[in-house]
């Protein structure tokens, strides 16, 4: 299946590294003009350079703004007043004993992982509906459904994203705009490598550490390995495409069979 997003503009939040960078690159390969977002000009400039090295003819827009704040979200919208595809990828995570999570940490996870996405959806959805075409996506997690004991604040925020996504899909009903969430499973990123080594022996080589982590902490995975960021990006590109016009209000899994359920 050929996906052609030529003429479309996509904003991928938190796209200087990891899953976000893979999504930005995949959308650029599909022909979209891609806005790369990060908190600092240096991180965005470096990410844009890497993307252009991978996709030499890419149309890339740098958006250096901390969208987890009202001011940063406003700056992003000022730099990029209209988008056709909004991928709310920004997110933070860390392990923490449940009874040690402070009020401030609970608030921070909601602000960064949920409210930042809500703000941008409020900003961009009206333009999409008025034009009769648009795609809004939220990068959720298996933790939205299978809450991990070691980071329930993160799981809470991802569960909230599923509700936000379904609700905004109803708001966009009948307009030609689709709204979906993507449930990403355990994924191989730099941040996850550090997380893995918090839970298994740091002296283990990475391949052994990864297998030990999946065996001991994610044994229900049918894939039995970490997912590569590009595999998440493939789903995002499809949902961004005209071919996905009948898919909305969904929570689509790219989880390696981690969530033990038949329905997506």
Judged by phi (left if over 0) then psi (alpha if -120 to 50, else beta), residue 69 lies in beta
3 state SS of 255 = coil
pLDDT tens per residue across span 133-160: 999 999 999 999 999 998 999 999 999 9
Q: How confident is the model at residue 225 (pLDDT cuts 50, 70, 90)?
A: confident
66/103 same-domain check: yes
Residue 154, both tokens: 């993160």
Number of domains into which the chain is organized: 2
Residue 98, in any domain of the structure = yes
Q: How confident is the model at residue 189 (pLDDT cuts 50, 70, 90)?
A: confident
HSE-up (13 A, CA, CB side) for residue 115: 12
pLDDT tens per residue across span 69-103: 999 999 999 999 999 999 999 999 998 999 999 99
Distance CA 81, CA 96 (A): 38
Distance CA 11, CA 53 (A): 19
125/210 same-domain check: no
What is the CATH classification number for the domain harbouring 102?
3.40.50.720
Residue 3, in any domain of the structure = no
CA 145 centroid distance within chain: 16
Distance CA 160, CA 169 (A): 14
- Asked whether the predicted pLDDT for residue 2 surpasses 80, the reply is yes
Distance CA 43, CA 16 (A): 6
Q: How confident is the model at residue 231 (pLDDT cuts 50, 70, 90)?
A: very high
Residue 77 CB partners (closer than 8 Å, separation 6+)? 120, 123, 124
pLDDT of residue 88: 98
218/123 same-domain check: no
Residue 13, in any domain of the structure = yes
- Asked whether the predicted pLDDT for residue 32 surpasses 80, the reply is yes
CA 171 centroid distance within chain: 21
- Tokens 């939220």 belong to residue: 138
Distance CA 125, CA 136 (A): 8
109/221 same-domain check: no
Judged by phi (left if over 0) then psi (alpha if -120 to 50, else beta), residue 151 lies in beta
Enclosing domain of residue 33: 9-187+228-254
Distance CA 38, CA 52 (A): 16
155/41 same-domain check: yes
38/110 same-domain check: yes
Contact 32, 21 (CB under 8 A): no
Residue 2, in any domain of the structure = no
Active site residues: 154
Residue 264, in any domain of the structure = no
Residue 124, both tokens: 């961009």
219/95 same-domain check: no
pLDDT of residue 190: 80
Distance CA 94, CA 200 (A): 15
- Spell out the alpha helix ranges (H) of 30-151: 41-54, 70-79, 103-110, 116-131
């Amino acid at each position: 299946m050929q996906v052609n997003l030529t003429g479309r503009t996509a904003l991928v939040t938190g796209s200087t590294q990891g899953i976000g960078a893979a999504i930005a690159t995949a959308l650029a390969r599909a022909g979209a003009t891609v806005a790369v977002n990060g908190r600092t000009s240096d991180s965005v400039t470096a990410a844009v350079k890497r993307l252009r090295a991978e996709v030499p003819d890419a149309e890339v827009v740098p958006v250096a703004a901390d969208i987890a704040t009202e001011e940063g979200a406003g700056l992003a919208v000022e730099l990029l007043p209209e988008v056709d595809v909004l991928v709310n990828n920004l997110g933070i995570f860390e392990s923490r004993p449940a009874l040690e999570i402070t009020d401030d940490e609970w608030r921070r996870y909601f602000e960064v992982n949920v409210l930042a996405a809500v703000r941008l959806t409020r900003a961009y959805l009206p333009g999409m509906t008025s034009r009769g075409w648009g795609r809004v996506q939220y990068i959720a997690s298996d933790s939205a459904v299978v809450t991990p004991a070691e980071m329930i604040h993160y799981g809470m925020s991802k569960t909230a994203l599923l509700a936000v996504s379904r609700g905004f899909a109803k708001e966009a009903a009948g307009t030609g705009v689709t709204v979906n969430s993507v449930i990403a499973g355990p994924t191989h990123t730099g941040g996850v490598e550090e997380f893995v080594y918090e839970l298994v022996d740091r002296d283990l080589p990475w391949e052994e550490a990864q297998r030990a982590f999946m065996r001991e902490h994610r044994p229900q995975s049918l894939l039995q390995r970490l997912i590569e960021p590009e595999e998440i990006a493939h789903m995002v590109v499809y949902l961004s495409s005209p071919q996905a016009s009948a898919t909305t209000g969904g929570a689509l899994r790219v989880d390696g069979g981690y969530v033990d359920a038949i329905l997506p």
